[in-house]
Structure 1
Amino acid sequence: MSKSKKRQEIFKKFVDNDTNYWDDFLVKELNAESDRGSVILACSLFDIALKAKIKSFLVHIENVNDDIFDDANSPLSTFSAKINMAYRLGIVSNHLKSDLHTLRDIRNSFAHNIDECSFDDTEVINSIEKLKTSSKFIERFEGIRNDCFPSGYKGDFIMFASMLLSTLKSEYINQLEPATAEWVYNQDYYSPE
């Protein structure tokens, strides 16, 4: 299966809100990946999730290729741009925006570090500690943390990523309707006799 086809399949499962798929996928797939692979994969899922949330808010278009997301120079082609737009549209809170940017920083550490990068690196540990203290989620749900996720910072990352993705999935967004024609296009607005 091509990367594009697989990405479309994952996008559809997100839009369809297939909760069992996501829960199983995150724990199984992210844990099976290398440190670098799990971070890049998780952040790809966040990218897909943000795109789905933003698209669900915008007026629907029929084109398969959405020119505000899918081209290299599109305004929302980057993870950072999607995070900021989701915040500006009110889809995510300032707090979640900050955590998503921290996840993006972790992803960049793994993606751009030519040497081996791991969850043992000081920069990555500091970012994960920042995530852990932002909501105290891992601390509050320590039993779930210990029963369902691997130990160490990789497990913390996977748990935090799965909870944030779950948050993004659960928030309902009302889609905008296309705007009505402006008065200048309305033939009935004024017609001199």
Structure 2
Amino acid sequence: MAKASKKIISSEQSNAAWDEIINSSSDHITAILAASYLEYYLTRTIKMHLHYVEDITEKLFDYGAAASFDTKAKLGRLTGVYGDKLYNDLKNIIKIRNYFAHRMDIRTFEDKEISPLIGKLKMCETDTKILFALEKRAPTNRELFTFSVTAITQFIGDRRSCQMPEAPAFS
């Protein structure tokens, strides 16, 4: 199996990627790129949350048991990076991403398989209230999706210190 890139992206690259996500005219591109963006930051956060042992950590996350987005979401929950509300949103974002990635007939956030999953996203509630207050309109499904990815990315970005106990000295 090919080894995944461990490249760290700069703030400028991150901002450029987010601009591409927001400004894309394609829901398909937005869904896949936004999920990839979120997965990148989730991976970074989980790695920072654990004790880093290069030969274990890199193999585990690059092409081992923790390489999948779903497993990373579970690890984040199990290690206390976030609670059930955010974890449930991640599960729905992963489902949405998989629909767009694996079903050629899924083209928009309004598709019948996608819309109910968007309706389950809870991390976007603050942004939804702000949009309604400012523009007097309900957000689109695409906005709800990007609001959720933004809220989750910001939340996990604030959770970067290791919370795991140190290994005993004699071990």
TM-score for the superposition, normalised by structure 1: 0.72
Q: Does the CA contact (< 8 Å) of 1:138 and 1:145 recur in 2?
A: no
* Aligned residues: CA RMSD: 2.9
Match among 75, 83, 98 for residue 65 of structure 2: 75
Q: Compared with structure 1, are the counterparts of its residues 89 and 171 closer, same or farther at alpha carbon in structure 2 (3 Å cutoff)?
A: same
Q: Which amino acid aligns with 1:75?
A: A
Match of residue 162, structure 2, among 171, 174, 177: 174
Structure 2 residue aligned with 1:190: none
Asked whether the 8 Å contact 2:124–2:151 carries over to 1, the reply is no
Whether the aligned pair in 2 keeps the contact of 1:54 and 1:86 (CA below 8 Å) is yes
Which amino acid in structure 2 is aligned with residue 55 of structure 1? K
Q: Aligned letter for 2:35? A: C
Q: How far off its partner does 1:140 sit?
A: 2.3
What are the superposed Cα offsets for residues 116-168 of structure 1, whole Å, 9 maximum, x if unpaired? 4211202211111211x56632332226885xxxx622222222211211111
- 5+ residue gaps in structure 1? 183-193
Q: Residues 175 and 108 from structure 1, CA distance in 2 versus in 1: closer, same or farther, beyond 3 angstroms?
A: same
2-side partners of 1:126 and 1:43: how far apart?
A: 18
Q: Is the 8 A contact 2:123 2:152 kept in 1?
A: no
Percent sequence identity is 23
Tell me how far apart the structure 2 counterparts of residues 145 and 108 of structure 1 sit (CA, whole Å).
Answer: 33
- Which stretches in structure 2 are left out of the alignment for 5+ residues? none
Q: CA deviation at 1:115?
A: 2.2
Residue of structure 2 aligned with 1:48, choices 40, 48, 72: 40
Higher relative contact order (CA 8 A, sep 6+): 2
C-alpha distance in 1 between matches for 2:73 and 2:130 = 26
TM-score by structure 2 length? 0.80
Q: How many Å separate the matches in 2 of 1:77 and 1:156?
A: 27
Shift of 1:172: 3.5
Alpha-carbon distance change, 63 to 123 in structure 1, aligned in 2, over 3 angstroms: same
Which residue, 155, 160, 171 being the options, matches 2:148? 160
**2:20 corresponds to 1:29:** yes
Question: Could you tell me how far apart the structure 2 residues matched to 1:21 and 1:170 are?
Answer: 19
